[in-house]
Amino acid sequence: MQRADSPDKGDLTVKASGKQTIFVYNQANLSAVSPEEMAELEEELKQTKEQLAESTKELKSIHAGASSTSIQGDSLKPAISANLVLPRTKDLQAEIARVQEEVRR
């Protein structure tokens, strides 16, 4: 029984090395990223790194505040969770919209 992505169909390339046989996806079938798309991805990466730095600062600030007060750690969990989840939710909504747009193309 042959699989749909067999080497005969050109999806896989076969590399033999001694007793080993290695199957590798044929990268010639992948679409290249245009310079515009690459610029968009680099900008998205830059923004994500900035957001990560801000979130890290905020988390350190919250952690420092928690350790300098007599408040129990359990009472801070909802506040920390809300601060961490909300940005991710917004990112996911944007990611869903982006994927839906790609599917429409």
pLDDT of residue 14: 85
40 Cβ contact list (under 8 Å, min separation 6): none
Q: Could you tell me the pTM of the whole model?
A: 0.40
Amino acid identity of 77?
A: K
8 A C-beta contact, residue 20 and residue 39 = no
pLDDT at 61 over 80: yes
Position 75, amino acid: S
What phi, psi does 52 have (nearest 5°)? -65, -45
Q: Which tokens in the block code for residue 63?
A: 């952690």
User: Which residue from 30, 38, 82 is spatially nearest to 59, judged by alpha carbons?
Assistant: 82
**For the chain, what percent of residues have pLDDT higher than 90?**
18
pLDDT of residue 20: 92
pLDDT at 34 over 80: yes
